[in-house]
Amino acid sequence: MLASIPPAYVAPFERAWRNRELIRAVVRREFISRFRGSALGPLWAVISPLFMLLTYTALFSLTVPQLSAGMSVTDYASSIFIGLIAFNLFSELAYRAPMLLHEHVNFVKKSIFPSETIAWTATIRAFTYAGVAFAVYIVFRLLTAGTLPLTIVLTPLLVVPFFLFILGVVWFLMALGAFTRDVAHIMASIVPVLMFATPIFYRLDQIAAMSGSMALWLRLNIVGDYIEMLRSVALDGTLPNIFGYLALVAISYAVFIGGYQFFMRYKSVIVDVI
Amino acid sequence: MSSEPSILCAGVGKAFQLYAHQNDQLKQILFGLWKKFYKDKWVLHDVNFTVEKGERVGIVGRNGAGKTTLLQILCGITQPTKGDFRVAGRIAPILALGSGFDGLLTGRENARIGAAILGLSRKEVDACIDDIAAFADIGSFFEQPMRTYSMGMIARVAFAICAYAKADVLIVDEALSVGDEIFQRKCERFIADFAKTGTILMVSHDLNFLAALCDRVLWLEGGVVREVGDPKKVIADYRRAMLAEEDQASGVA
């Protein structure tokens, strides 16, 4: 009786587990149809981040030396690269999420498709690309610095809550985007601004040294916090502040559950308005 | 075997929210608790019927009578505004041709996804994918991207997936009439076979097809059940009503 209705804090996992075969099939489809008809195929997942890495390294390390704040060129490039991996992941989904239900309108309206799984597949896909880019980072780091910090093994502890945070955001934007296409336009104008409010090309402590209150505001940017923590485990070899980490996990989880509940609440209405 | 009905519809009604402006939808989301920004458009009023296990029931009605909405409700795609419904067991719907198919993927890949949507595990799909191919019987097209398919071929694949979904209830919306003679006969055989273990609900404008295949026919008009019962009688009444209306229309003109 009660056992059949899972509590709110596990409901999204339970739904996803029940639809795991479908999620797997759709993720496979996304990859197949993305690489079909291209000569290099999956190699693009490696080439594009590599290209990005080289471009930003060349550009920023040569033109804006004060940003790199005493870091070597490769260290600074690594730092930017980690920032960009996480931010591109976020921005790709932020652009795409409001349109997701419109893209899948046939699925949603004309078959018994559990539409909440669309967020899972889109997020899994984006994280797979980010994972490939991260592998590129590891190789780049090994080639240039010759060593990796031991703390890099802690990366999954950051990836999991980040994944849940992004998923919650996707659900929220997906539902909102179904009602009005303005959401897609809003995201298109906000995300580039957000990019500079995120510690990608700089570090938070650089800002803190210049203006403490500014740094405090930037801390509100969850994506930026994740980037800072990723850098400390995957580049600096330091442990993030444990309380900061726990707070981040708690917030991410709240966003995840909130996004899911928002989506599920409007799911039946969305079918009629889309 | 339980004697519980396979499909139960009690006072089902559905109102769509009609918005004067596109932006009102967003306002409704944000401020819906305080003010209503839409008008209700009722497409189903008070639909009552039951379908017993193993029955084949056809639905007839004019365009806009609410047939598709009713099927969507039964499939769980959209929620009824009022009333209750219950469908026992796994549903396999064929609601619109080619929906949920990706034109870039081959028939085989689409069939895998289609089967996963219906709730089959990967093992089950592996076991029956060749049977699906055989049932669809479109030869080497099964390995070609779906955008190269004709409507008939898409219908074949869609139907083949549902045929092997091990469903308890099959819901078909006007999908079989595009198939050729051979395939239609195959479907008829399959439907007759399926009815031994499962329940079928189908919408069609092909009245002869329904008369031949169904145990009962339900006539939906203006969002309510106008008549339900023996196929021959209901279809005859339906035809008469259509003819009368046509006469009236031509008389006016």
DSSP string covering B141-179: GGGSBGGG--HHHHHHHHHHHHHTS--SEEEEES-GGGS
Q: Is the pLDDT of residue A153 over 80?
A: yes
Per-residue pLDDT averaged across B21-39, rounded?
A: 77
Higher pLDDT, A154 or B30: A154
Q: What is the pLDDT of residues B210-251, one digit of tens each?
A: 888 889 999 998 888 898 889 899 999 999 998 888 888 776
Q: Smallest Cβ distance to B78: which of A22, A26, A271? A: A271
d(CA A99, CA A85): 22
Q: Any CB–CB contact under 8 A between A219 and chain B?
A: no
Q: Cβ–Cβ of A271/B105 closer than 8 Å?
A: no
Query: Each residue of B159-175: b (16+ CB within 10 Å) or e?
Result: bbbbbbbbbbbbbbbbb
Neighbours of A57 (CB within 10 A): 19
Query: Each residue of A138-166: b (16+ CB within 10 Å) or e?
Result: eebbeeeeeeebebbebbeebbebbbbbb
Q: Cβ–Cβ of B116/A176 closer than 8 Å?
A: no
Q: What is the pLDDT of residues B2-29, one digit of tens each?
A: 568 888 888 888 988 887 777 777 777 7
What's this model's pTM, rounded to 2 decimal places?
0.84
State which residue of chain A sits closest to B104, comparing Cα positions: A33
Domain annotation covers residue A2: no
Q: Is the pLDDT of residue B253 over 60?
A: no
Following CA atoms A129, A134, A136, A138 in sequence, which dihedral angle do they give, to the nearest 10 degrees?
A: -160
Length reported for chain B? 253
Per-residue pLDDT averaged across A264-268, rounded?
A: 86
Which residues of chain A neighbour B91 with C-beta distances below 8 Å?
Answer: 112
C-alpha of A222 from chain center: 11
Q: Work out the pLDDT band at A119, boundaries 50, 70, 90.
A: very high
Q: Cβ–Cβ of B17/A273 closer than 8 Å?
A: yes
Which residues of chain A neighbour B23 with C-beta distances below 8 Å?
Answer: 180, 182
Per-residue pLDDT averaged across B28-40, rounded?
A: 78
Average pLDDT, chain A: 87
Q: Any CB–CB contact under 8 A between B91 and chain A?
A: yes
Domain annotation covers residue A3: no
Which pLDDT score, from 0 to 100, does residue B191 have?
81
Q: Is the pLDDT of residue A185 over 70?
A: yes
Which pLDDT score, from 0 to 100, does residue A4 have?
60
SS3 B66: coil
- Asked if A199 and A227 touch (Cβ cutoff 8 Å), the reply is yes
**DSSP output for A147-178:** ---GGGGGHHHHHHHHHHHHHHHHHHHHHHHH
Q: Any CB–CB contact under 8 A between B120 and chain A?
A: yes
Q: Work out the pLDDT band at A1, boundaries 50, 70, 90.
A: very low
d(CA A132, CA A123): 14
pLDDT above 90 coverage of chain A, percent: 44
Q: Is the pLDDT of residue B85 over 50?
A: yes
Per-residue pLDDT averaged across A164-192, rounded?
A: 91
C-alpha of B22 from chain center: 29
Q: What is the pLDDT of residues A72-113, one digit of tens each?
A: 777 888 888 899 999 999 999 999 999 999 888 878 887 788
| DSSP 8-state assignment for residue A141 | H
How far away is chain B from the Cα of A255, in angstroms, using its nearest Cα?
A: 18
Which pLDDT score, from 0 to 100, does residue A93 have?
94
Domain annotation covers residue A226: yes
Interface pTM, i.e. ipTM: 0.75
Q: Residue A251 corresponds to which tokens in the numbers above?
A: 């917030």
Q: Smallest Cβ distance to A110: which of B17, B99, B116? A: B99
Per-residue pLDDT averaged across A236-251, rounded?
A: 93
Which residues of chain B neighbour A269 with C-beta distances below 8 Å?
Answer: 17
d(CA B101, CA A169): 27
Q: Work out the pLDDT band at A178, boundaries 50, 70, 90.
A: confident
Q: Is the pLDDT of residue A6 over 80?
A: no
Residue A104: phi, psi to the nearest 5?
-105, 30
Residue type, B62: R
Domain annotation covers residue A179: yes
Q: Residue B27 corresponds to which tokens in the numbers above?
A: 């306002």
The total of structural domains in chain A comes to 1
Nearest to A264 by CA among A8, A93, A1, A2: A8
Per-residue pLDDT averaged across B178-201, rounded?
A: 82
Q: What is the pLDDT of residues B146-178, one digit of tens each?
A: 889 888 888 888 888 888 888 889 888 876 667
Q: Any CB–CB contact under 8 A between A182 and chain B?
A: yes
Average pLDDT, chain B: 84
Going by C-beta distance under 8 Å and a sequence separation of 6 or more, which residues neighbour residue A194? A91, A221, A223
Which residues of chain B neighbour A22 with C-beta distances below 8 Å?
Answer: 113, 116-117
Higher pLDDT, A210 or A135: A135
Q: How large is the C-alpha radius of gyration of chain A?
A: 20
Residues of A numbered 8-67 whose beta carbons fall under 8 angstroms of chain B's beta carbons: which are they?
A: 21-22, 24-26, 29, 32-33, 36-37
Per-residue pLDDT averaged across B104-116, rounded?
A: 86
Which pLDDT score, from 0 to 100, does residue A67 have?
64
Where is average pLDDT lowest: A9-23, A232-246, B91-105?
B91-105
Q: Work out the pLDDT band at A2, boundaries 50, 70, 90.
A: very low
Going by C-beta distance under 8 Å and a sequence separation of 6 or more, which residues neighbour residue B162? B92, B93, B94, B118, B170
Size of interface A-B (CB pairs under 8 A): 85
Which CATH number is associated with domain B1-89+199-253? 3.40.50.300
Domain annotation covers residue A241: yes
Q: Cβ–Cβ of B113/A112 closer than 8 Å?
A: no
Going by C-beta distance under 8 Å and a sequence separation of 6 or more, which residues neighbour residue B143? B106, B107, B108
Higher pLDDT, A136 or A29: A136
pLDDT above 90 coverage of chain B, percent: 12
- Residue from B25, B125, B128 to probe the interface with A (highest A Cβ count within 10 Å): B25
State which residue of chain A sits closest to B94, comparing Cα positions: A111
Query: Each residue of B3-19: b (16+ CB within 10 Å) or e?
Result: eebbbbbeebbbbbbeb
**Range(s) of the domain holding residue A209:** 11-273
Domain annotation covers residue A28: yes
Q: Is the pLDDT of residue A160 over 90?
A: yes
Query: Helices A117-144 and A44-63 sit at what angle, rounded to 10 degrees?
Result: 60
Q: Is the pLDDT of residue B83 over 60?
A: yes
How far away is chain B from the Cα of A33, in angstroms, using its nearest Cα?
A: 6
User: Which H or E run contains B83?
Assistant: strand B82-87
Nearest to B17 by CA among B2, B1, B32, B34: B32
Domain annotation covers residue A4: no
Q: Residue A143 corresponds to which tokens in the numbers above?
A: 């080639």
Q: Smallest Cβ distance to A180: which of B17, B26, B122? A: B26
Domain annotation covers residue A65: yes
Which pLDDT score, from 0 to 100, does residue B155 have?
84
Which pLDDT score, from 0 to 100, does residue A139 have?
92
Inter-CA distances, B166 with A34, B112, B133, B162, B199, Å: 31, 14, 16, 8, 12
CA distance between the termini of chain B: 57
